[in-house]
Amino acid sequence: MGKTLAEKILAERSQSDARAGDTVVARVDLAFVQDTTGPLTVRQFRELGFPGVASPGGLAVFLDHAAPSPVRQLSNDHILLRGFARETGCHISEVGEGVCHQLVAERFARPGDVIVGSDSHSVTAGALGAFATGLGSSDVAVAVALGRTWFRVPETILISLVGEFPRGVQAKDLALYLIGWLGADGATYKALEFGGEALPRMTMAQRLTVANMAVEAGAKVGLFPGDEVTREFLAGQGRGHSYRPLRADGDADYERVISVDLGELEPMVSLPHVVDNAVAVGKTAGVKLQQVFIGTCTNGRLEDLAVAADIMGGKKRHPDTRLLVAPASRQVLSQALEAGHVQKLIDAGAIILPPGCGACLGLHQGVLGDGELCLSTANRNFRGRMGNPEALVYLASPATAAASAVAGEISDPRELI
């Protein structure tokens, strides 16, 4: 019997057979922390009493959630993390460089890697064929000390994609549709693996969006193969040497196979307060919005800003609707400036935020008022997510977000393109 992608990677990294259900100890290629979970990781690491980290080159610290810091306590956490990076010689990504998951994709992830981050959206790097998953601070501290961590090898649900996205329908709509279908716990403890004839046409930006949201169905990883799209992306990042082809065996054993025809998808919206509460945009159109937020590790990439700029170009945001745009990284911001997307968005009335996470988790930059509604391109709409338990967060694609910012209410982007 052949192996799924998850089994294949864990078998290599644990030097064992690694079949679904086995418990393995796997070598970790990259462990990383961000600024709201990193300080606890550092304290736990010190508590472990190890003389040093297993591999400074396989450790990265990202200052992205509070970037720049809005409050003294978080500034002090940044000082702690900078000190830890100096002591260990590990990578550090300063305030303003961008969101950890985008930077892991741009700078670190390789097909076949095992990556652990103290952030649940660490699954994002599954887009590059890395077994990438979120762990808590203690687990990451141990991975930093030992260079290894333990996993139960997950069963795999294969998502077979066929067809092409209709105009105005995006990878985010696929992600919301799938989570709605599977349920927020439909893939708990399992791997999602993406395959099918549509895959060669899915860009890395689209793959990153879909992999990013695997955790919203409870999954441990959301894995794409290493293929030509991966090779081109890595080459474009100056990391062509990091590429290797990687795919599941043809006779791999999947727990189930779900087939999705992309051509039948519609723009989707997740209603408050759970992500699997996903409906076609028509069912919630007309809901008035006080804020629209385009950005995050889910949808803050160049392609996302391009779609928003195209839809909003020459138009204005609705006067009652604030529009926040946060590029996922400095590279994205720079490329979006060069391509003219940023100017179009500014002309449409957008506020450009520094690359980072702040607004998404309600830490700063765009905290909602009581009773306010926000349509966001992020991955979570939990109560209190954007800093106020009395506010409502809806999730959608960048195209739906841009169309809705113009209309001042939830709108079908297919009407504007």
Partner 1 sequence: MYDIILRGRAIRLGDSISTDDIIPGRFAHLRSNLPQLAEHVFEDVLPGFISRVKQADILVAGRNFGLGSSREHAPLVVKMAGVRAVLAESVARIFYRNAINQGLPALLCRTGGISDGDELEIDLAGGTVSDLTSGARLDCSPMAPLMLAIVQEGGLVPYVRKHGDFAMPGGSGGGHSDGV
Near partner 1 in 105-124, by CB under 8 A: 107-108, 110, 113, 117-120, 122
Q: Is 404 left (phi over 0), alpha (psi -120 to 50) or beta?
A: alpha
Of positions 6, 7, 9, 14, contacts partner 1 by CB under 8 A: 14
169 vs 215 by CB, closer to partner 1:
215
Q: Report the distance separating Cα 53 and Cα 144, nearest Å.
A: 6
CA-based torsion, 122, 393, 271, 302: positive or negative: negative
Of positions 4, 44, 365, 411, contacts partner 1 by CB under 8 A: 44
Q: Does 40 sit near partner 1 (CB under 8 A)?
A: yes
184 vs 351 by CB, closer to partner 1:
184
Contact stretch for partner 1 (CB under 8 A) within 45-53, 198-206, 249-257, 403-411: 45-53
Tokens representing 160 are 């077979």
Cβ atoms < 10 Å from Cβ of 60 = 23
Beta strand 268-270 pairing with 278-280: antiparallel
Q: How far is the CB of 9 from partner 1 (least distance, A)?
A: 13
Q: What is the enclosing helix (H) or strand (E) of 222?
A: strand 221-223
Of positions 3, 8, 65, 344, contacts partner 1 by CB under 8 A: 65
For the segment 317-356, give every residue that binds partner 1 (CB under 8 A). none
Contact stretch for partner 1 (CB under 8 A) within 63-71, 264-272, 289-297, 342-350: 63-71
Q: Does 30 sit near partner 1 (CB under 8 A)?
A: yes
Of positions 361, 375, 391, 407, contacts partner 1 by CB under 8 A: 361
Beta strand 131-134 pairing with 373-376: unpaired
Q: How far is the CB of 141 from partner 1 (least distance, A)?
A: 7
Of positions 8, 18, 32, 58, contacts partner 1 by CB under 8 A: 58
Contact stretch for partner 1 (CB under 8 A) within 54-62, 300-308, 331-339, 394-402: 54-62
Q: How many residues bind partner 1 (CB under 8 A)?
A: 82
Q: Does 59 sit near partner 1 (CB under 8 A)?
A: yes
Contacting residues for 168 by C-beta, under 8 A, at least 6 apart: 267, 399, 412, 413, 414, 417
Cβ atoms < 10 Å from Cβ of 57 = 13
2 vs 189 by CB, closer to partner 1:
189
Q: Report the distance separating Cα 128 and Cα 115, nearest Å.
A: 11
Q: How far is the CB of 99 from partner 1 (least distance, A)?
A: 14
Q: What is the enclosing helix (H) or strand (E) of 261?
A: strand 256-261
Single-letter amino acid code for the residue at 209: T
Beta strand 291-295 pairing with 373-376: parallel
Tokens representing 235 are 């080459």
The candidate with the shortest Cα–Cα distance to 355, out of 152, 139, 144, 67, is: 67
Q: How far is the CB of 54 from partner 1 (least distance, A)?
A: 6
Q: Does 181 sit near partner 1 (CB under 8 A)?
A: no
For the segment 266-325, give every residue that binds partner 1 (CB under 8 A). 274
37 vs 209 by CB, closer to partner 1:
37
For the segment 130-159, give every residue that binds partner 1 (CB under 8 A). 134-139, 141-142, 145-148, 150
Contacting residues for 353 by C-beta, under 8 A, at least 6 apart: 295, 324, 325, 326, 359, 365, 366
For the segment 73-92, give every residue that binds partner 1 (CB under 8 A). 73-74, 76-77, 80, 91
48 vs 257 by CB, closer to partner 1:
48
